Structure 1
Amino acid sequence: MSASPALFPLFLDLRGRRVLVVGGGSVARRKIEALRDAGARVVVGAPALEPAIARLVDDGDIERLVGRFDPNWLNDTWLVVAATDSTIINRAVATAAEARRVWANVVDDAELSSVQVPSRVERGRLQVAISSGGGAPMLARHLREKFEAQLDESLGELAGLLADQRRRIRRRWPDIGARRAFFERLLSGPVPGLLRRGDADGARAEFERTLEQDATPHPRGSVALVGAGPGDPGLLTLRGLRALNEADVILHDRLVSREVLALARRDAELIEVGKQVGGDHHATQARIHALLVEHARAGRRVVRLKGGDPFVFGRGGEELEILHAHGIDFEVVPGVTAAIACAAYAGVPLTHREHAQSVRFLTALGRDGDDPVDWPALAQERQTLAFYMGVSGLERIRDNLVAHGRAADTPFALIENGTRAQQRVVAGTLSQLPEAAAAHAVKAPALLILGEVAAAATALHWFGPRPLRLEDAPGSRTVPQAA
């Protein structure tokens, strides 16, 4: 049996044209809404209408034909949609439409339809249509959902800008080859990024500059500072994914997961710039600054990919200051910060009406490893402390908090490899903190949550194995709580 021929894709201009919808239920309503959005003059025919359709008729937004389908309803019609729950009526509509050479779509019946309505992704004037010829509608829907995630809303504004300037573009570049090269420069340049940032004036100015420049200008580079989240690739934001798909060069931290890096554009250059424990962090940061400037000045689209959120203990502000000083275009794509994500994956609410109304994000090591800490403030009850780099200085944290009044039985949850398949949670009380971490050999990356809410890790854990306690470690002895 030979395969059915492929459908011929078209986009119809239905503005002001009569389109008949047969049926008055919820399916008909969805079709009417889409047709009205396209500017069609909609006529609905059915014995009865659901309230939402009836209101459209009463308001004069659509016309109505009362009763069962009559072939004469097709007079002066450009397109008909059969959306009833009766196979007999739907078949009658399709047969009458074929006889009158009117295109017909019968909902969920490819055999009777002469027109298939595709799954669509809309971004302003830009539309992406997906069709399986009616044979695999769930596949088409699945692909539509993927495109919905990948195509930025600003593409609608970009399509509008190009449509408005189409004649000018053709006059400036009458040769098709030169015009194609112009579009390649434009679409790989700053204009799309400016529109994503909501800078329509900047995008138009950059468009004007690109339109009038020579045919082979030096490309302008840019940097996107992107938060990769704590490790689970499902927590990467849609905008972060788009940036990875557009990057020429990706400078990434050591702790950015392989699963997140696997989402990057295949031919992007990956450069690991993570700081090693015990290394010269200032020298490494200076190298990162130099690489950002070098690649951006070479006209490349650079992504600086940081674990968690770049503005939460990520030195993102310092990197933006360098880019600003060198006149390099940049944007920031926030990420899900580790404290929020790791706490959620460990079943710990950072705030809780009965236990904590505030949360503090801290780093166990300051910028120089010896920053002064306001221990009396941190020792106050009914607040949650979230320590980044949570395996550093645990004995110091315990001793200072207890010395300044924090109860020794305050719960903690120490989360190693949070949100990843290797996640482990060690739980206990403040008095046991360094011993419990040592007994279970907790290693970076780890995040420490301290406060009354941390007790929820034992009861509300849902991801990975149950939390470990000090007494679970082989050969360990429970440390008595401090008085």
Structure 2
Amino acid sequence: MPQANAKLNAFPVFMRVEGEAVAIVGGGEAALAKARLVGQSSAVLRIIAQTAEAELLSFIAATGAVHVAAAYEAAHLEGAAMVFAASGDEALDRRVAEDARRLSIPVNAVDRPELCDFFTPALVNRAPVAIAIGTEGAGPVLAQMLRGRIDRMLSPSLGALATLAASFRGAAERLPKGTGRRRFWRDFFAGAPASGHIALVGAGPGAEDLLTLRAHRLLMEADVIVHDALVPEAIVAMGRRDAERLPVGKRKGCHSKSQEEINVLLVELGREGKRVVRLKSGDPLVFGRAGEEMAALRDAGIAYEVVPGVTAAFAAAADFELPLTLRGVSSSLVFTTGHDLKGNSLPDWAKLAISGATVAVYMGRSVAAEVAGRLIEAGLSPDTAVAVVENASLGNRRRFHGTLADLPSLEARADLSGPVMTIIGDAVAGANFERSEPLAAHRHEDTASATAEGVEQ
């Protein structure tokens, strides 16, 4: 709890700088950092540096900032609204601070709080909306961490909404002051859209820090989160605390709702005016049945968007440090499921596998023998490299390596209960197998027999 008598030693204000000069003394990294910060405003930058580093010179050229390429003199500060001493030289920074005070100009000296009239905040910019986080110089890293969290929470369109609100100011002023006017603005900013909005969001392979910034922002704005069983609770919990959470199952052998029921649910929520996040494991467009949900929403006239996520194949490849494409070895990539091999004829992608494509198979261990058998029957070498990951991207992931001939051994692994990703192809040989287990250690005693059984199923 905050202390009741806690006092701020620096009072936060927003200073008008439109068209005003802001002087920065220095030619290095510190000066560039301040220039980038102030450059987010409509101030006229005046950078005073007899010699400047290449990156700062590039910034000056790109932004049209005024460059005073001369040894510093107090006259260079005249007419400025504020001054930054960022030379890195203590004696010069102190001189700049003293000159600024003599000219009645507020000054900030980088990393020298005792010379500062004001402190620069960590800034979240949604112009004309701005959120400044300050620690009075005590914890700049903390301020940056808070800035990152707030930035993820706020929609990129917040500034456009504030600008739109400004255009309604005249109309709002015709309303009586007090409750009526406050209600108008509250409804303007917080009112739910009449037709609702559905976001089909990729939750990634499981690790919460692989969630995209856009996905996190939408979760923080959602009224309802509709999530699959494979989405970890840690990711669902990243949503707005008071959001309604609706699990819809969709795990092998356990479907709490059919796909048609999910489609109907999303349409109903949209018609109720709800902001909905439909949270899918991995990427919604990769074996996520997003096509059916988008069709239902289009037919119902419900607004929706798709937010991509990190699909399991990419996470599994990263866990193995495995190149999915490799110059001179594999220049194409196939995403498929083991169930594609259950028909009487081989799918077209099987020919690509034989030609050297890397094949990422989204499947459980129950179809491993069938996949291996059909591919070997089609002509893919039994010695083709294979990588298998259970729970890709998570701390409890398990990695296995071997050959296509070893793959049927997965069916005997009752200890693998998480989602399994299999990657097959010559490029797999370039993976890092140091932290993985050999599949061969778990092969059936009669591999050939196991493979044949897989073909017959």
TM-score bracket, shorter-length normalisation: 0.7 to 0.9
Equivalent of 1:296 in 251, 256, 270:
270
Hey, what does 2:455 align to over in structure 1? Answer: none
SS of equivalent to 2:365: coil
1:317 pairs with 2:298: no
Q: Contact 1:250 / 1:270 at 8 angstroms: preserved in 2?
A: yes
Q: Contact 1:426 / 1:437 at 8 angstroms: preserved in 2?
A: no
How far apart are 1:237 and its partner, in Å? 0.9
Question: CA, structure 1 residues 348+90, in 2 after alignment: closer, same or farther (shift >3 Å)?
Answer: closer
How far apart are 1:309 and its partner, in Å? 0.9
1:307 pairs with 2:309: no
Deviation readout 1:430-479 (Å, 9 max, x if unpaired): 2221124414643341112111123334xx147xx4233232x4x96483
How far apart are 1:426 and its partner, in Å? 2.2
Q: Contact 2:401 / 2:436 at 8 angstroms: preserved in 1?
A: no
Deviation readout 1:180-212 (Å, 9 max, x if unpaired): 444444445677xxxxxxxxxxxxxxxxxxxxx
Deviation readout 1:150-194 (Å, 9 max, x if unpaired): 43433333333333x142452465545444444444445677xxx
How far apart are 1:382 and its partner, in Å? 0.6
Distance 1:461 1:20 in 2: 56
Question: CA, structure 1 residues 408+78, in 2 after alignment: closer, same or farther (shift >3 Å)?
Answer: closer
Deviation readout 1:122-162 (Å, 9 max, x if unpaired): 23433221111112122112222333444343333333333
Distance 1:43 1:91 in 2: 19
Hey, what does 1:286 align to over in structure 2? Answer: 260
Q: Which moved more, 1:125-134 or 1:173-182?
A: 173-182
Distance 1:470 1:149 in 2: 45
Root-mean-square deviation (CA), in Å? 3.4
How far apart are 1:19 and its partner, in Å? 3.7
Hey, what does 1:49 align to over in structure 2? Answer: 51
Distance 1:230 1:326 in 2: 30
How far apart are 1:99 and its partner, in Å? 4.4
Distance 1:80 1:294 in 2: 57
Hey, what does 1:153 align to over in structure 2? Answer: 156
Tell me the amino acid that sits aligned with residue 126 of structure 2. Answer: R
Q: Which moved more, 1:25-34 or 1:410-419?
A: 25-34
Question: CA, structure 1 residues 180+434, in 2 after alignment: closer, same or farther (shift >3 Å)?
Answer: farther
Deviation readout 1:25-60 (Å, 9 max, x if unpaired): 4433443455455343455556x2326678969x99
How far apart are 1:89 and its partner, in Å? 3.3
1:387 pairs with 2:357: no
Q: Contact 2:205 / 2:315 at 8 angstroms: preserved in 1?
A: yes
How far apart are 1:353 and its partner, in Å? 1.6
Distance 2:204 2:76 in 1: 57
1:11 pairs with 2:9: no
SS of equivalent to 1:111: helix
Equivalent of 1:338 in 306, 312, 315:
312
Tell me the amino acid that sits aligned with residue 170 of structure 1. Answer: A
Deviation readout 1:313-337 (Å, 9 max, x if unpaired): 1111101111122222211111111
Aligned length: 443
Tell me the amino acid that sits aligned with residue 450 of structure 1. Answer: I
Q: TM-score, normalised by structure 2?
A: 0.85
Distance 1:266 1:441 in 2: 35
Q: Contact 1:296 / 1:302 at 8 angstroms: preserved in 2?
A: yes
Tell me the amino acid that sits aligned with residue 66 of structure 2. Answer: I
Question: CA, structure 1 residues 400+110, in 2 after alignment: closer, same or farther (shift >3 Å)?
Answer: same
Question: CA, structure 1 residues 28+379, in 2 after alignment: closer, same or farther (shift >3 Å)?
Answer: closer
Distance 1:176 1:371 in 2: 74
How far apart are 1:306 and its partner, in Å? 0.5
The 5 Å alignment of 1:340-359 reads: 340-359=314-333
1:479 pairs with 2:447: yes
Question: CA, structure 1 residues 249+405, in 2 after alignment: closer, same or farther (shift >3 Å)?
Answer: same
1:250 pairs with 2:225: yes
Question: CA, structure 1 residues 257+113, in 2 after alignment: closer, same or farther (shift >3 Å)?
Answer: same
Q: Contact 1:378 / 1:401 at 8 angstroms: preserved in 2?
A: no
Instruction: Provide structure 2 residue ranges, at least 5 long, that are not aligned to the other structure.
Output: 453-457
Question: CA, structure 1 residues 179+452, in 2 after alignment: closer, same or farther (shift >3 Å)?
Answer: farther
Equivalent of 1:121 in 99, 121, 124:
124
1:417 pairs with 2:385: no
Hey, what does 2:209 align to over in structure 1? Answer: 234
Distance 1:185 1:49 in 2: 54
Hey, what does 1:28 align to over in structure 2? Answer: 31
SS of equivalent to 2:356: coil
Distance 1:181 1:324 in 2: 34
Q: Contact 2:228 / 2:281 at 8 angstroms: preserved in 1?
A: yes
1:101 pairs with 2:75: no
Q: Contact 2:201 / 2:308 at 8 angstroms: preserved in 1?
A: yes
Hey, what does 2:426 align to over in structure 1? Answer: 452
Hey, what does 2:66 align to over in structure 1? Answer: 62
Equivalent of 2:249 in 263, 274, 294:
274
How far apart are 1:114 and its partner, in Å? 1.0
Distance 1:142 1:406 in 2: 51
Q: Contact 2:353 / 2:425 at 8 angstroms: preserved in 1?
A: no
SS of equivalent to 1:308: coil
Q: Which moved more, 1:23-32 or 1:232-241?
A: 23-32
Distance 1:18 1:28 in 2: 15
Hey, what does 1:209 align to over in structure 2? Answer: none
Q: TM-score, normalised by structure 1?
A: 0.80
Distance 2:72 2:409 in 1: 80
SS of equivalent to 2:421: strand
Question: CA, structure 1 residues 291+173, in 2 after alignment: closer, same or farther (shift >3 Å)?
Answer: farther
Question: CA, structure 1 residues 4+359, in 2 after alignment: closer, same or farther (shift >3 Å)?
Answer: same
Instruction: Provide structure 1 residue ranges, at least 5 long, that are not aligned to the other structure.
Output: 192-218
Q: Contact 1:189 / 1:220 at 8 angstroms: preserved in 2?
A: no
Deviation readout 1:400-440 (Å, 9 max, x if unpaired): 21222111222222221111112112222222211244146
Hey, what does 2:347 align to over in structure 1? Answer: 374
Tell me the amino acid that sits aligned with residue 109 of structure 2. Answer: V
Distance 1:454 1:245 in 2: 39
Distance 2:422 2:71 in 1: 69
Q: Contact 1:248 / 1:269 at 8 angstroms: preserved in 2?
A: yes
Equivalent of 2:137 in 129, 134, 139:
134
Question: CA, structure 1 residues 186+315, in 2 after alignment: closer, same or farther (shift >3 Å)?
Answer: farther
